[in-house]
Amino acid sequence: MGKTYVGSRLRQLRRERDLSQASLASTLGLSASYVNQIEHDVRPLTVPVLLRITEAFGVDATFFSRDDDSRLLAEIQDVVLDKELCPNPVELQELSELVYNHPAIARTMVDMHRRYRNVRDKLSIATDTRRHVSPLATGSGTQALSMPHDEVRDFFYARQNYLETLDTTAEDIAEQVGVTRFGIRDTEEALADRLRAQHGIEITTSPDLDGTLHRFNRETGELELASRLSTGQRAFRMGMELAYLDAHDTIEALVAEEHFTSEASANLARRGLASYFAAAVLLPYQVVHTEAERSGYDVDYLGNVFGVGYETVASRLSTLQRPNLRGIPFTFVRVDRAGNMSKRQSATGFHLANSGGTCPLWNIYETFTNPGTILRQLAQMPDGRNYLWIARTVRHHRGRFGDTGKLFAIGLGCEARHADRTVYAEGLNVEDLSGVTPIGAGCRVCPRENCAQRAFPPIHEEIVIDAHRSSVAPYN
């Protein structure tokens, strides 16, 4: 281990635990002056001291690694690429130093930019003169301007897709009803018993709810479930309704702290939190973390163990970021054939563009020609970071002949440095990246030159068009 100066990180850890330098020194068995020197980058972090910190505070050794800043670094790069705010380029090394030494400032800048971008987009919609009727005049513009899905996506993204209070509450309930001891069929019955005994709710099934998968009538206390749902899907819907009952205060507190701009956004957040809770009940944190590490994060295997679908497992794996028991930091996405991204959750530095589509070289789009098959890809982003991606399709809710089905591609990716912890690295040489696929966050923000798949010119570069010259890449 070379000389590693971690003053800002150690200070952050001490403040999170509400400790004085003297208390921290006592806990680590060091002198207060020694801790002071580490915090002021006079002394480097040594391996013995690192081991004492990880043992005393339950943090991963990667807490002090610059590689763990990848997500925040990607976000701050997005800020400086916005020419309206930052017309002059900023060196990557400067951004890296900012993120590592002043993470709170970097996060504040990212949050301010996110809010600025939302306001800018709302004003753009409100002042669009191409509309025949003003959305504000009709009253229909309120929802359009509030952009509920964007607000809720940012809400989860800002929390790295992990909600401590909600997750631990769900884990406690899972223990109470015996999820860790039962199979999924018994879990479904246990959840139904809890709804019945503690909340007076009766569970019924119906062969036809006009496309509705579940419906709860507060007045009658009846929860109707579509008979087309599998056992795991029925248990998941019960878990969602249980969230509103057993975790009501926690959910409302989380919604209140965000200050959503519309009731639609707040309600969508409540539903997202209920879904998070349901997944955390069916796949309790410590149990699923243990099984994931043991199985190499095998999504199919975990689906069979816990009795839930591929998408539910993949989504849950992207939430395993409990400070003292972290899983692999994954990015989870769900897209349709047209490239619309209906879900995206990230605990990694993999950066997703907010507009303009994603990269067509990404393996997630190949899955539609190989339905049901898991495809693997070693990909490299423009900042040089390498990722392992797995992707496959899932089909939703086709109830009868003639119904329009819902086909999605599910992508799950992590940095290549974590790949060896997964079964999906088997047979891949993650050390030899000569055949890595160069991808980007989306054409509008991707700096790659001479890409034959580029659909739009990059927004941060001048476009030079030679009317008497053509090339594979449409923009130079």
Residue at a domain's end among 64, 83, 109: 64
Per-residue model confidence (pLDDT) at position 63: 64
Residue with tokens 């090394």: 93
Instruction: Kindly state whether residues 168 and 273 are assigned to the same domain.
Output: yes
Query: What average pLDDT does this structure show over 364-374?
Result: 93
Per-residue model confidence (pLDDT) at position 243: 96
Beta-bridged to residue 45, according to DSSP, are 4
Cα radius of gyration rounded to whole Å, the chain:
24
Tell whether 244 is covered by a domain: yes
Residue 182: give its domain's CATH number.
1.10.10.2910
Of the two residues 179 and 394, the one the predictor is more confident about is: 394
Percentage of the chain modeled with pLDDT above 70:
84
Per-residue model confidence (pLDDT) at position 123: 67
Q: Are strands 321-322 and 331-335 parallel, antiparallel or unpaired?
A: unpaired
Task: Give the integer Cα–Cα distance in Å for 105 and 87.
Answer: 20
State the chain's mean pLDDT as an integer. 83
Instruction: Kindly state whether residues 270 and 348 are assigned to the same domain.
Output: no
Closest by CA position to 277, among listed 311, 228, 237, 304: 237
Tell whether 386 is covered by a domain: yes
**What's the residue count for the chain?**
476
Task: Give the integer Cα–Cα distance in Å for 421 and 32.
Answer: 38
pLDDT reading at 149 higher than 80: yes
Per-residue model confidence (pLDDT) at position 70: 66
Beta-bridged to residue 206, according to DSSP, are 226
Tell whether 408 is covered by a domain: yes
The dihedral sign for the CA sequence 122, 126, 130, 134: positive
- pLDDT per residue as tens digits for the range 121-136: 666 656 554 444 444 4
3-state secondary structure of 137: helix
Instruction: Kindly state whether residues 268 and 336 are assigned to the same domain.
Output: no
Beta-bridged to residue 333, according to DSSP, are 344, 411
Instruction: Kindly state whether residues 255 and 342 are assigned to the same domain.
Output: no
Instruction: Kindly state whether residues 336 and 276 are assigned to the same domain.
Output: no
Per-residue model confidence (pLDDT) at position 202: 94
Count of structural domains within the chain = 3
Residue with tokens 């990694």: 348
Residue at a domain's end among 64, 92, 113: 64
3-state secondary structure of 369: helix
Residue 223: what are its φ and ψ, rounded to 5°?
-110, 110
Residue at a domain's end among 45, 64, 83: 64
Per-residue model confidence (pLDDT) at position 268: 94
Instruction: Kindly state whether residues 277 and 380 are assigned to the same domain.
Output: no
The secondary structure of residue 462, as a DSSP letter, is: -
Instruction: Kindly state whether residues 169 and 278 are assigned to the same domain.
Output: yes
Between 16-25, 77-86, 257-266, the lowest mean confidence (pLDDT) is in 77-86
Q: Are strands 406-415 and 386-396 parallel, antiparallel or unpaired?
A: antiparallel
Closest by CA position to 103, among listed 9, 36, 35: 9
Task: Give the integer Cα–Cα distance in Å for 381 and 433.
Answer: 12
Tell whether 299 is covered by a domain: no
Query: What average pLDDT does this structure show over 31-41?
Result: 86
Tell whether 120 is covered by a domain: no
Query: What average pLDDT does this structure show over 422-427?
Result: 94
Please give the residue range of the domain that contains residue 40: 7-64
Contact between 296 and 427 under an 8 Å Cβ cutoff? The reply is: no
3-state secondary structure of 216: strand
State the number of CA atoms in the 13 A half-sphere of 140 facing the CB.
Answer: 5
Tell whether 69 is covered by a domain: no
Task: Give the integer Cα–Cα distance in Å for 199 and 190.
Answer: 13
- pLDDT per residue as tens digits for the range 308-363: 999 999 999 999 988 778 899 899 999 999 888 888 887 666 666 655 568 889 99
DSSP 17-70: TT--HHHHHHHHT--HHHHHHHHTTSSPBPHHHHHHHHHHH---GGGG-GGGGH
Instruction: Kindly state whether residues 238 and 339 are assigned to the same domain.
Output: no
Per-residue model confidence (pLDDT) at position 193: 94
Tell whether 311 is covered by a domain: no
Instruction: Kindly state whether residues 172 and 270 are assigned to the same domain.
Output: yes
Closest by CA position to 329, among listed 432, 430, 416: 416
**The two three-digit tokens of residue 395, written as one number:** 């089909």
Q: In which band, very low, low, confident or very high, does the pLDDT at 142 lie, cut at 50, 70 and 90? A: very low
Compute CA distances 392 → 138, 196, 345, 379, 389, whole Å: 42, 38, 17, 16, 10
Per-residue model confidence (pLDDT) at position 130: 46
Instruction: Kindly state whether residues 259 and 169 are assigned to the same domain.
Output: yes
Instruction: Kindly state whether residues 169 and 271 are assigned to the same domain.
Output: yes
229: amino acid identity, one letter: L
Instruction: Kindly state whether residues 178 and 273 are assigned to the same domain.
Output: yes
Query: What average pLDDT does this structure show over 73-101?
Result: 78
Residue 182: what are its φ and ψ, rounded to 5°?
-105, 165
Task: Give the integer Cα–Cα distance in Å for 364 and 349.
Answer: 18
Tell whether 377 is covered by a domain: yes
Residue 415: give its domain's CATH number.
3.30.450
